[in-house]
Structure 1
Amino acid sequence: MPVLVSNLQEKVPVESKLEEMLIRVVEKALGEHDIPENAEVSLVFVDDAYMSLLNQQYRGIDGPTDVLSFAMQEGPDMPGFEEEQLLGDVVVSMETAQRQAEEYGHSFNREVAYLTVHGVLHLLGYDHQTLTDKQKMREQEENILTRACLSASLIREN
């Protein structure tokens, strides 16, 4: 499963160890949902300024958010692309992740892993608009993080 990682920011250091862990988390999330081996996900790290631009452009909301997902599988299949399955992009604000890690009392790596799983689940069609959907999504997030060896309870309100 190709996971492409792009770091488009310089404000928060991103070590190769973190990238490797996040690739493992994405692979675990996709594997838990029987996604084909040729599925591709892009993981993009940005700063708050860049995330603010994306949030305004695509959601009409001023200011940064922690994670945005851009699914590629929402429309009809394009001819000639049967060999590849481009799931989409998960964009994480590393500055927001750093603040939230401190606020929630867990590590930066744990927060970025959580945001990555959250974004991947959105690519797979999960949402949290209703209480039932939110509970299903939170259970999936915890299960995936636990199976990827990042167990520990997350206390989050979204």
Structure 2
Amino acid sequence: MYVEMTDNTGQVSQEMQAETVKLLKFAAEFIHLPEHKEMAITYVLNDEIQDINREYRGKDVPTDVVSLEYEPETITFDDAFEMPEALQAELAEFDSFIGELYISIEKAQEQADNYGHSYEREMGFLAVHGFLHINGYDHMVAEDEKVMFALQEEILTAYGLTR
């Protein structure tokens, strides 16, 4: 899996970015995600994530992570149409991008302090949490929450990023 990283804050170390990529690749293998998938992470401050949260979720408050799952449009063809190989390859490229995450480093620090664990653990938690969202997991109902939260804890523990 390819992960594109952008740090709009100028405060996330190269080491932490590299560790996050390593964690997400581990998570991708853990859920058996095909290797050709791609995603993006942008580290932001509270004011920027508040703007994103307002625009995409209708909530005018800063949050810890916003996950934007990419949902490609379904293209159908008449059965008589034989798609050229070049077009097949081009369409497959669109299928590789799964989504993007925005993580507030200020919220991550605040939550790490509140929960009594490391900033690194919180940043890893937020990355895995968002990653699961862009792969179809959710926690809007109790049953789904139980599944998603158990899986994210299982991934973090197996990776060695414990509380």
TM-score by length of 1: 0.88
> Residues 28 and 147 of structure 1 are in contact (CA less than 8 Å); yes or no, is this contact kept in structure 2?
no
Q: Which has the larger radius of gyration?
A: 2
- Tell me, in whole angstroms, the C-alpha distance in 2 between the residues paired with 1:76 and 1:119: 24
Aligned to 2:62: 64
Deviation string for 1:31-60 (max 9, x for gaps)?
A: 112211110011110100000101111111
Q: RMSD in angstroms over aligned alpha carbons?
A: 1.7
What count of residue pairs does the alignment treat as equivalent?
A: 150
Q: Which residue type is aligned with residue 55 of structure 1?
A: N
SS in 1 for 2:9: coil
Q: Structure 2 CA distance, aligned partners of 1:75 and 1:98?
A: 37
- State whether residues 24 and 131 of structure 2, in contact with CA within 8 Å, keep that contact through their aligned partners in structure 1: yes
The unaligned stretches of length 5 or more in structure 2 are: 77-86
Q: Structure 1 stretches (4+) deviating beyond 3 angstroms?
A: none
| Structure 1 residue corresponding to 2:29, chosen from 31, 36, 53 | 31
Q: Matches of 2:75 and 2:118 in 1, distance apart?
A: 39
Q: Residue 128 in 1 paired to residue 139 in 2?
A: yes
State the partner residue of 1:119. 130
| TM-superposition CA deviations, 1:98-134 (whole Å, max 9, x none) | 1110011000010010000000000010000111111
In the TM superposition, what are the counterparts of 1:6-155 in structure 2 within 5 Å? 6-10=6-10, 13-73=11-71, 75-76=73-74, 80-83=90-93, 85-152=96-163
User: What TM-score, normalized to structure 2?
Assistant: 0.86
Q: Which has the higher helix share?
A: 2
Give me the whole-angstrom Cα distance separating, in 2, the residues matched to 1:44 and 1:144: 21
Helix, strand or coil at the partner of 1:69? strand
Separation in 1, partners of 2:153, 2:39: 20
Whole-angstrom distance in 2 between the partners of 1:34 and 1:54 = 30
State the identity as a percent.
33
